[in-house]
Amino acid sequence: MNAQERRAAHATTGSPAGPAPRPQMMRAVRTRRAGSAAHLELTELPVPAPAPDEVLVAVHATSVTRGDVVLRRMPGLVVRAFGETPKRVLGHEFAGRVVAVGDQAVGFAPGARVMGATSGTAHGAHAEFVRVAADGLLVEIPDHVAFAEAAPVPVGAMTALHFLDAGGVGHGTRVLVNGASGSVGTFAVQIARARGARVTGVSSARNATLVRELGAEEVLDHATVDVREAGARFDVVFDTVGTLRGRSAGALLAPGGRVVTTRSRRDETLPELMEVRDLLATGALRAVVDSTYDLAGIRDAHAVVETGRKRGNVLVRVRGDR
C-alpha cells in the first residue's frame, strides 16, 4: 500500500455537524525581523483561506522547536539561500481540528483531528489557524490521543525515525543516543527500544531516570563520565548534540558500526509521519513535555529552547484539548 492509499484507508468523515463559522481575524505570533525573541509579537492577522488543495486547521497545540529558533534568528536572505520560504509566523508542528477543506483537497473532512508539520510555508502554526497541503505532512491522530500529546511529536519523532533508519537500527542493535533527554533523543530512545534495540543514553544526571523510563538500559552522565571512553561496543552512535564527532564517535563503534547525526539536511516524509502516528496510537511513543506556554508566553518558550537543555519538548497551547 502506498502513502496515498494508506492515508485514504485512515481517513474518516469527521464531525457530521460541519465546520463552525470562522472569525475573520486570528491571534498569531509574527516575527517582525530576524534576531532575538524580542522581535516576536503576538498580533492579529487575517485567518488564511485554504487553497484548493489545502485544508485549514484550527490549531489546538503546537511547540517551539530548535528549528523555530534557528529560523527566527536567520535573515530572510539566508533562509532563501537554503531554499526555504521565509516564515513570518513560526511554528513547525501542530495538532488541531480541520475546519475547512479546499475544493480539490482529499482525505480530510471538517472535524477531523490531525497533526502535522508546516515545512516550506510562510505561515506556521504559532497561530489560531494554519493552512496545510492535504497531501503534505498531515495525518489523523488516534481518538484517545489529546492534541497536547500529539502536537510535540511530528518533528522530533520523524527526525529520530529517519536517522535510526539511516543507521539501520533494528532488533538487537546496540545504539548509543547522545542527547537522550532532548526532543529527538527522547523519541530516538523510545523508537529504538520499540524495535528491540539495546539503548545506552547520554544525558545529565537529572534526566537519567526519565531516559531509563523511556527504554534505555544504561545511562551515562555527560557531566561525570567521559563518554568517548565508554568502549568500542556500539553498532550505531546517534549524536543529536554534536559533541561526538570524528574520532570521539569512532572510538565508540564496534567493528562495522556507524555514526549518524542530526546535522544532515533532509526532507520530512509522509510515510515517516504515518509510522510515528502508528507508534503514538499503540502507546510505544509519547512526547515528553518540558514546559507549557500559551501564545502570549511565546518569548519565554523560545528562551527555554535556547538554553539547549530542554527536557523533551516545549509545548504551546492555543485552544483546549478537545
Residues that bind ligand NAP (CB under 6 A): 65-67, 155-156, 159, 178-179, 181-185, 202-204, 207, 222, 240-241, 243, 262, 264, 266, 308-311
User: Looking at beta carbons only, is 159 or 200 nearer to ligand NAP?
Assistant: 159
Minimum gap (Å) between residue 223 Cβ and ligand NAP: 8
CB of 252 to ligand NAP, least distance (A): 13
CA angle, 114 then 119 then 123, to 5°: 85
Q: Which residue is nearest to ligand NAP, using beta carbons?
A: 182
- Cell numbers of 82, please? 537554503
CB of residue 234 to ligand NAP, shortest distance in Å: 15
For residues 25 and 44, what is the distance between their CA atoms, to the nearest angstrom? 6
Nearer to ligand NAP, 134 or 219 (CB): 219
**What's the CA angle centered on 6, arms 268 and 130, to 5 degrees?**
50
- Give the integer Cα–Cα distance in Å for 68 and 269: 19
Q: How far is the CB of 307 from ligand NAP (least distance, A)?
A: 8
- DSSP H helices, 99-169, are 147-150, 154-166
CB 34 → ligand NAP: shortest distance, Å? 17
Distance CA 84, CA 278 (A): 29
Nearer to ligand NAP, 221 or 294 (CB): 221
Residue number, 131 or 162, with CB nearest to ligand NAP: 162
Tell me if 59 sits within 8 A of 129, measured CB to CB: yes
Question: Residue 174: which of 91, 237, 227 has the closest Cα?
Answer: 237
Considering the complex, state which of residue 112 and residue 236 has its C-beta at the smaller distance from ligand NAP: 236
